[in-house]
Chain A
Amino acid sequence: MRLAAASTRLVATLAAGAAAVWLAYRLDPNDIPIYMNMGLAALVAIGLSLLMGFAGQISLGQGAFYALGAYTAAILTVGLDPDERLINPEAGIAPWAAVLVAPLLTALVAALVGVPLLRLRGHYLAFATLALHLILIAALFAEDSFTGGQDPGLIIAKPLEVAGFTMGGVGDAARNLAAVIWGLVALALLVGVNLVRSRAGRALRAIATSEAAAAAAGINVAAYKLRLFVLAAGLAGLAGGLFAFRLGFLSPDAFPVIISIEFVVIVVVGGLGSVYGAVLGAIAIVWLQDRLQQLGTREQLLGFDLPVQAPGVFRIGVFALILIVVMLFLPRGVLPALGDGVRRLRRGG
């Protein structure tokens, strides 16, 4: 019976993945950017959801890994030496290789940071990862000869090409990129689900129930937590690398601290530990983000004059409120709670 359920899930996920890829070619061109954003957020959220759900750790630095992935891919592509970039358009490595290196680097950084921290309770990692995000942004601004800083920023002239397909931010290239992103999301889902169902998954679930009991049973709790952290960082780095080619241009402004918080909101809404929830949460929150952005840039709302900081206020305030409300009343996540509600209705109250 379990095998049947597993293969149904496999087929369903593959089908959904195929549909998502197909959708990339059918959507209105105006919707492609947000479609890509949803997919990228989903990639990050899947990793974070596993970390928060099973390791009981909060990373407030997924935005940092996202940024690190983006800048790694970009800098490797345009060339490490800032002077050479101006002279030699062939400097740097092939974009597709850069995109592959990005997650590896972020995973490495995560391993370094994680080893001392993951043995301790969740709040240490929370603060350390937040600090990481802030430091990274400071470094991106400070080392502006290397990173391009805010002005002029980092322009990626080389297109991302694989087997003749171009992936970028506009036109057909955008569709290709969106397709690739959602294909990767489906892959990440499968990896995530497989992880949870495997022997490692059983260990993870034991850890999630009671770390003390799991440790007593001989499970290397710290090692599993580290692996989840590294996986989450890698996924974020991969997403970041693709993001760089979506934008074609990078500046530290694109990675404010709030995006780390937004990833947490996505996971909290989707349900800690639920990879499918992470994807649905990503879709919902990115959509909400878009609406808030549009609302915030208006001059007036309900008759009130909106201050110029309105977009920031909306974005930060609304997501923070969601975090509070969900954590208080639906700590297992909005989607799991809805699922419970539906199940109760079906059973007839």
Chain B
Amino acid sequence: MTEFVQLVVIGLSTGSAFALVGISFALIFRTTNIVNFAQGAFAVLGGQFTVWLVDKEWPTAAAAIVAVLLVTAVGALVGLLAVGIRGLTTPLASLVITLGVAFVIQALQLLSFGDRPHTYPSISDRVWTVQGVVVQPQYVLIAAVTVVATLLLTLVLRRTIIGYALVATSDSVRAAELVGLSLRSVAVVTFAVSALLSAIAGLLLTPIQPVNYDSDVGIAINGFAAAAFGGLVSIRLAFVGGLVLGVAQQLVVGYGDAITPQARQYELAAALVIMLVLIGWRSRKETVT
């Protein structure tokens, strides 16, 4: 029983990170109809920049803040690229552009940070044991930040004019344009906010899972799977999806260990299978093209 709870605890914390990335996917997709392949890269950059600054003797909190700001700026730039040229760039083309961006970021990381995994110390070395279950403070931090960030985002979308503008664009593109909103500008802001969220997810995850220049692909896939839970549009469901995915992965791998010692390698397979099942189930209800 303790093992089950332990796996759930770990799963909730990795799942929180997936949830944040998934929410970022959903935010961009419902506003711009673009699937941002570089979402994982934003997360990884959050980690890499933080490590880089911490290695320069910066206090962790300051490093994290600056890292997030840097990645937000990168996100805005990517948004500009991804939106492309009006009338010429289709959503699928935008996907491919973000794919290119993700790999350019990989190349730049390889150049700047090398090909070794990087990490920085987690928030506390202390380890809490609750009824035999090990809980690292980092787990709690990730989960807490995710919940707070999700609530803040929901608040912004429901209560502020800028949030209204983002939601309006996904409710009716035509009316948003007619009212005077610039879709390009909305896209850039959406990308920036998404980058911010993903960077936070990435940097919080790094003490538990060191990042490397090519970690973005795995994170992107997990984040996408979380967002797929909500049809790529629902923020609430992306949140739930992330948690479910995290827990399911840990359970599959944890119990799979009994069957084959290589179970950990198939973490990603768990995400893929879950995503396929979810999508298969959804597509029964909607044959959406």
A–B touching in complex (CB under 8 Å): yes
- List the interface of chain A (C-beta within 8 A of B): 56, 58, 60, 113, 116-117, 119-124, 126-128, 130-132, 134-135, 138-139, 141-143, 211-212, 215, 221-222, 257-258, 261, 264, 268, 307, 309, 312-314, 316-317, 319-324, 327-329, 331
CA separation between A320 and B38, bound complex, in Å? 12
In chain B, positions 83-101 with a C-beta closer than 8 Å to chain A are 84-85, 88-90, 92-93, 95-97, 99-101
Q: Are A309 and B115 in contact (CB under 8 A)?
A: yes
The smallest C-beta distance from B163 to any residue of chain A, in angstroms, reads 25
Are B110 and A316 in contact (CB-based, < 8 A)? yes
Chain B residue at minimal CB-CB distance from A140: B265
CB distance from B117 to the nearest CB of A (A): 14
Please state if B221 and A131 are interface contacts (CB–CB under 8 Å). Answer: yes
Question: Would A142 and B262 count as touching, CB distance under 8 A?
Answer: yes
B272: CB under 8 A from chain A? yes
Q: Which of B63-71, B121-129, B273-281 interfaces with chain A?
A: B273-281
By a CB distance below 8 angstroms, the chain A residues around B200 are: none
CB distance from B94 to the nearest CB of A (A): 8
Instruction: Answer whether residue B166 sits at the interface, using C-beta atoms and an 8 A cutoff.
Output: no
Q: Which 8 interchain pairs have the tightest Cβ spacing? A: A317-B107, A323-B100, A320-B103, A116-B280, A324-B100, A142-B262, A123-B35, A131-B272
Main secondary structure, interface of A, reads helix
Can you list 14 contacts pairing A with B, beta carbon distance less than 8 Å? A58-B92, A120-B283, A121-B288, A127-B220, A134-B217, A139-B269, A222-B287, A313-B107, A316-B103, A316-B106, A320-B102, A320-B107, A323-B103, A328-B85
Q: Are the CB atoms of B289 and A215 closer together than 8 Å? A: yes
B114 touches A317 (CB 8 A): no
For A314, what are the chain B residues with a Cβ–Cβ distance below 8 Å? 107
State which residues 186-238 of B face A: CB under 8 Å: 214, 217-218, 220-221, 224-225, 228, 232
Asked, given contacts A128-B276, A134-B218, A316-B110, whether A321 binds B100 with beta carbons under 8 Å apart, the answer is yes
Tell whether, in the assembled complex, residue A331 and residue B288 are in contact, meaning their CB atoms are under 8 Å apart.
no
Cβ contact within 8 Å between B262 and A327: no
For the complex, give the distance between the alpha carbons of A121 and B88 in Å: 19
A258 and B283 in contact (CB under 8 A), knowing A113-B276, A134-B221, A221-B289?
A: no
| Contact partners of A322 in chain B: CB under 8 A | 100
Nearest-CB residue, chain B, relative to A312: B110
A147 → chain B closest CB, angstroms: 12
Among B92, B269, B279, the residue within 8 A (CB) of A120 is B279
